[in-house]
Amino acid sequence: MLFNKSQEENIKNLETPFYYYDLTLLNSTLDQAKAAADRYGFHVHYALKANFNDRLLQAIQAKGFGADCVSGNEVQKAIDSGFPASQITFAGVGKSDKEIRMALKHGIFTFNVESIQEMEVINELAEELGVVASVSLRINPNVDAQTHHYITTGLDENKFGVPTSELEKAATVIRKCAHVELMGLHFHVGSQITDLNVFKSLCVKVNEWKNWFEERGTTINVLNVGGGLGVDYQQPDAHPIPDFGAYFAIFDKFLERSAHQEVHFELGRALIAQCGSLISKVLYTKSGIKKHFLVLDAGMTELMRPALYQAYHQIERVAMGNTGEATLNYDVVGPICESSDCFGKEVPLPVSKRGDLIAIRTAGAYGEVMASRYNLRDEIRYVYDSEL
């Protein structure tokens, strides 16, 4: 159950749709993640791409996490939100010169470099600014993340990172670049990974490539294994906080590392997905020949994941004192003029009427950040648990 009785009373009169963020759950999640990582001396950078809502960033920064950014604006946002530059990583296959210059001026912890050409450009721009850039080489390890193909990033066919066939050349280029210093190696194989064996396979690859560099006399100080830990979209109430203990234990057990080597993570979804829900109102109910529809006032413009990659989200009615009613299977759709604007098909819900409130759960990650003004929709609104 998402809301208690008094919260239900309070949300009745709020304008919908809005994102509801449970900061209490967020703080507990952050505490558990931090404690589990600290046990092994691991460093966690929060991946801003998952959500850069100010209140969430404040909470995350206050707990001592670093930041992982994939654009110049995210780097700037992290700095403005109080993350120290020394804890900021910057990844992305297409960093522009302007973005690189800006990050160099801030003196960020490291650039996760995704191609040899990018390495050369960073070297040139660092030389212009009279600085030495700290870089980590993003290696594409060809590990199958066993997740949706749109959120798989570590296979040979994906655009991310330097393919292993190019590493010999990359190592030569790095040696020649006087304005870059190789800090470490970076990997990120995909998102929403629920099979921990995938991380075990990743560790095997990291060990292999770390040894490869060390055998060639290159010191590797940082092993950055990316993010990707999944959450339970099917049963958010049963598993509101991922098992961070089991996740970090895999890396502790299988990652070979020397005393000087730091292990870094870039978690996004696992830290914030469960604390967010999209709250929407039923605008209309209608029944076709074979179907019952609930037309909501939220659509793919507020939460794009189902339309973008057929993502599943649990959809439930906010009880509002109703219990024990008959159910119907509904296609739950939004108001946007696109057939893909559908949150779920044949979703069993209590028989619903205009004005009922619907919660779409586990929407804290890759939700609000992907909102758009398509169809000239209103700006997205949000409400925090402390306000209810």
Ligand X SMILES: Cc1ncc(COP(=O)(O)O)c(C=O)c1O
Distance (Å, whole) CA 192 – CA 145: 9
Site for ligand X contains 50 (CB under 6 A): yes
Q: Residue 350 CA to chain centroid, in angstroms?
A: 32
Site for ligand X contains 88 (CB under 6 A): no
The 10 Å Cβ neighbour count of residue 10 is 14
Pick the closer one to ligand X by CB: 45 or 317. 45
Token pair, residue 198, equals: 């995938």
Residues 6+ positions from 311 with CB-CB distance below 8 Å: 148, 233, 305
Pick the closer one to ligand X by CB: 67 or 104. 67
CB of 50 to ligand X, least distance (A): 5
Site for ligand X contains 43 (CB under 6 A): no
Site string for ligand X, 222-261 (x = CB under 6 A): ----xxxx--------------------------------
Site for ligand X contains 47 (CB under 6 A): yes
DSSP β-bridge partners for residue 190: 152
**Integer distance in angstroms from the first to the last C-alpha of the chain?**
15
Site for ligand X contains 269 (CB under 6 A): yes
- C-alpha dihedral (211, 215, 217, 223), degrees to nearest 10: 0
3-state secondary structure of 291: coil
Could you list the beta-strand ranges (E) of 49-207. Answer: 66-69, 88-90, 110-113, 133-140, 162-163, 180-186
Site for ligand X contains 275 (CB under 6 A): no
Site for ligand X contains 188 (CB under 6 A): yes
* Candidate list 114, 266, 356, 368; residue touching ligand X; CB under 6 A: 266
**Cβ-contact 196, 204 below 8 angstroms:** no
Strands 276-287 and 357-360: antiparallel
CB of 200 to ligand X, least distance (A): 17
101 annotated to bind ligand: no
CB of 160 to ligand X, least distance (A): 7
- Binding piece for ligand X, criterion CB under 6 A, among 2-10, 238-246, 264-272, 336-344: 264-272
366 annotated to bind ligand: yes
Residue 131: phi and psi, rounded to 5, are: -130, 170
Site for ligand X contains 68 (CB under 6 A): yes
Pick the closer one to ligand X by CB: 268 or 344. 268
Distance (Å, whole) CA 263 – CA 278: 34
Site for ligand X contains 113 (CB under 6 A): no
Counting every residue written for the chain, the total comes to: 388
267 annotated to bind ligand: yes
367 annotated to bind ligand: no
Residue 179: phi and psi, rounded to 5, are: -105, 15
CB of 92 to ligand X, least distance (A): 8
CB of 350 to ligand X, least distance (A): 33
* Candidate list 44, 267, 294, 298; residue touching ligand X; CB under 6 A: 267
Distance (Å, whole) CA 206 – CA 89: 18
Token pair, residue 301, equals: 């413009």
Pick the closer one to ligand X by CB: 347 or 365. 365
Site string for ligand X, 355-384 (x = CB under 6 A): ----------x-------------------
Binding residues: 228, 266-269, 305, 309, 338, 366
Binding site for ligand X (CB under 6 A): 47, 49-50, 68, 91, 188, 191, 226-229, 266-270, 365
From the annotation, which residues make up the binding site for substrate? 269, 305, 309, 338, 366
